[in-house]
Amino acid sequence: RVPLLYEEWVPYECEVSIIGARSTRGQTVVYPLNGNVHADGILRVTRAPFGPARWHRTATQYLARCLKHFHYTGVLTIEFFVRNGRLLANELAPRVHNSGHWTIEGCATSQFENHLRAILGLPLGSTRPLGHSAMVNLIGRIPARDKLLALEGLHLHDYGKHAPPGRKLGHCTLV
């Protein structure tokens, strides 16, 4: 016999994610809530900060409980579906997360830097947003770089990957 995991389709209004870090010393920090848009199962756009304060408070409470319960060290992300104004946990991602790429330019300290600080036992950095941010994943092709880079405040990240259809080749962040 093979164990079976059954998942039911859950209709939802939007998806959000909360990202935080916990150090070896138990210090925790939390980033602003992200709003995520997917197409064909791939994250396309993230906006931050996103949603009402009560969503951020609720997501932060769940994240804090997970970080403490698992004695977690590093960056942890929880994705939620929003249904009828309530958050339903969808996925736990024990790593830096695609929906947090905006933190590279959009926060005082990125999720990547805080992950390193956390696992090295260093003080965690501020997660203060530097403004409203949007991150767009570049799937399948990268638009003309000169046009992208002409947009004030836009930061292009080209991963230098081969470009088969549907592959993530980079992302842009606008702060």
**1 within a domain of the structure (yes/no):** no
**68 within a domain of the structure (yes/no):** yes
pLDDT at 1: 78
**157 within a domain of the structure (yes/no):** yes
DSSP structure string for 101-146: TTHHHHBSS-HHHHHHHHHTTPPPPP--BSS-EEEEEEES----HH
**pLDDT by 10-residue block (mean), the chain, 175 residues:** 80 97 98 96 96 98 98 98 96 97 98 99 98 97 92 95 87 97
**6 within a domain of the structure (yes/no):** no
What residue type is 164 in one-letter code? P
What CATH number does the domain containing 138 carry? Answer: 3.30.470.20
pLDDT at 164: 81
**150 within a domain of the structure (yes/no):** yes
pLDDT at 45: 98
Number of domains in the chain: 1
**145 within a domain of the structure (yes/no):** yes
**72 within a domain of the structure (yes/no):** yes
pLDDT at 53: 98
Q: Give pTM, 2 decimals.
A: 0.92
**4 within a domain of the structure (yes/no):** no
Provide the domain limits for residue 134.
Answer: 14-174
CB contact set of 26 (below 8 Å; sequence gap of 6+) = none
User: What are the angstrom distances between the C-alpha of 128 and each of 12, 22, 59, 111, 112?
Assistant: 29, 16, 17, 12, 15
At residue 129, φ and ψ (nearest 5 deg) are -70, 145
**Can you name the residues that pair with 168 across neighbouring β-strands?**
139
pLDDT at 8: 81
pLDDT at 89: 96
